[in-house]
Amino acid sequence: MHPQLTTYLLVSKIICMINKKSQIIELTLKNIKDKGFLSFSYDDLAKELGVTKASIHYHFEKKGDLGIAVCNSIEEGLEKAFSEVKQASIKPLDKPLAFISNRILYINKNDMCPISALQADYNYLPASMQKKIQKLSQMEIDFLTELLFEAKKEGYLEGYHDNLEELAILLIASTKGGLQYKRILGDEFFTKLWEQFTDFLK
């Protein structure tokens, strides 16, 4: 075989592997949002991808490995949303809620926030995942807090002083709770919540 062909085959194999890996990660994320980490199975993924369980195990030997990969993917999404909103040409006061609604955009009608789903399963996840989930949970708070501080620096949020982290906590906690209730009681629940958010931020 020509050495060039060998190289080509090797490269395309690696690219395919990367694609398959990220396919699996994406699909896992979807499953987590639907049923949680403990409740989805390698067989669920295999069926949706049209392959066997063993094939998934080739890419992610243990379920925990796949869990870590998904957490990393969530982390990237979080950072991307943060930097996009930070650089957006909108009023600084609108950025905190833009960040939240950016994140919510990817949660479908009957799905959970994936971070909430991971938090729910927390007690029975491997320590490596628990650590990652801690980090993700804190990151969301920190990003939102920073956006609130930037708004404050620009002269908004006069009613608030050193308590912007507290406001971030209120916004995140009620968003997460609200998303859960929305699945059960319908969209109005979240709408009524969001209206109050816009009142806080003016």
Report the interface residues with DNA, using CB under 7 A.
13-14, 16-17, 20, 40-44, 46, 50-55, 57-59, 61-64
- Residues in the site for its own copies, rule: CB under 8 A? 34-36, 38-39, 110, 112, 116-117, 119-124, 133-134, 137-138, 141, 165-167, 169-170, 172-178, 180-181, 183-185, 189, 192-193, 195-196
For residue 135, the minimal CB distance to its own copies (Å) is 10
* 95 to 78, 88, 113, 150: CA distances (angstroms): 14, 8, 20, 9
d(CA 169, CA 100): 12
d(CA 140, CA 142): 5
Chosen from its own copies, DNA, none, partner binding at 170 (C-beta under 5 to 8 Å by type): its own copies
- Compare residues 2 and 109 and give the one whose CB is closer to its own copies: 109
DSSP state of 50: T
- Compare residues 42 and 190 and give the one whose CB is closer to DNA: 42
CB 19 within 8 A of CB 94: no
For residue 58, the minimal CB distance to DNA (Å) is 3
- Compare residues 102 and 116 and give the one whose CB is closer to its own copies: 116
For residue 81, the minimal CB distance to DNA (Å) is 29
What is the full DSSP assignment across 118-157?
HHHHGGGS-HHHHHHHHHHHHHHHHHHHHHHHHHHHTT--
CB 76 within 8 A of CB 137: no
CB 71 within 8 A of CB 118: yes
Q: State the amino acid at position 85 in one-letter form.
A: V
Chosen from its own copies, DNA, none, partner binding at 52 (C-beta under 5 to 8 Å by type): DNA
- Compare residues 56 and 78 and give the one whose CB is closer to DNA: 56
